[in-house]
Amino acid sequence: MSLIVALQGKDGLVLAADSRGTIGDPRGLTAINDDQVKLFQLSKFCGTGISGASEFAAKVIDELKRQRQGSKTQFADEIAEETRQLVRRLYDDWFEKFKLDDRPSMTFTVVGYQKDGTTMRPRTYLLVSRSDFAPHLFPTGNCLAGIPQYAVYLMHRFYDPAMTVTSLARLAAYLISETATQDPKVGGQIRVATITKNEGYKELLAAEIKEITQKNAAQNEKLKRSFLGRR
């Protein structure tokens, strides 16, 4: 499974994901690997996070990138629609003989900017296999996919729309790392990308994410000490 986090702030968007894959039925014995890549850049102003049957979803992204070679489309609305059309065609082709309930679950979180005249506005879409990949638009820009239960509470507790992408990157990493302490289906290396009007899609370096997680851990320890009456 996965946790994909999309957050919107005053100066841009943040898209983040864990890297854990789970092998086997989660109701029984399972194995894990932490080599999954779940964030993908689709254009200068748009990226996606995948969850569910991530290997199938990664193949969709591979086909989408090949299809988009040379495309002038840079913006979220059009790319979400391109993704929807392609994944529906491939999904029906791959799993034609499967009943709907037996088909693998796939989810695409498409995040980026849409150009409306001279205005650039943020957009966040969720495309889910169980609803035939109909586009779900999130007007606030905040979307949690995969295993969101713990992250939903923490997001409502700490999120503020006035946050910058720098603060949102810390929050997104925190949502994932805290979920990983409670649910073993989330974990591994955290990846974070920012999307802004000026710089477009930009993934943080591993060293930057390490620094973020260390700062978050220090804040957690500081809070714990406060309950013990220590500084």
Which domains are delineated in the chain?
3-204 (3.60.20.10)
Instruction: Report pLDDT digits (tens) over 125-182.
Output: 999 999 999 999 999 999 999 999 999 999 999 999 999 999 999 999 999 999 999 9
Instruction: Report pLDDT digits (tens) over 59-116.
Output: 999 999 999 998 888 999 999 999 999 999 999 999 999 988 889 999 999 999 999 8
Q: Locate the DSSP E strands across the chain.
A: 3-8, 13-17, 21-23, 31-33, 39-43, 46-52, 106-116, 119-128, 135-137, 143-146, 191-196, 200-203
C-alpha to C-alpha distances, 231 to 139, 212, 213, nearest whole angstrom: 41, 22, 21
pLDDT of residue 100: 80
Q: Is the model's pLDDT at 20 over the cut of 80? A: yes
The chain-wide mean pLDDT, for the chain, equals 92
pLDDT interval class at 35 (50, 70, 90)? confident
Among 43, 42, 51, smallest CA distance to 17 is for 51
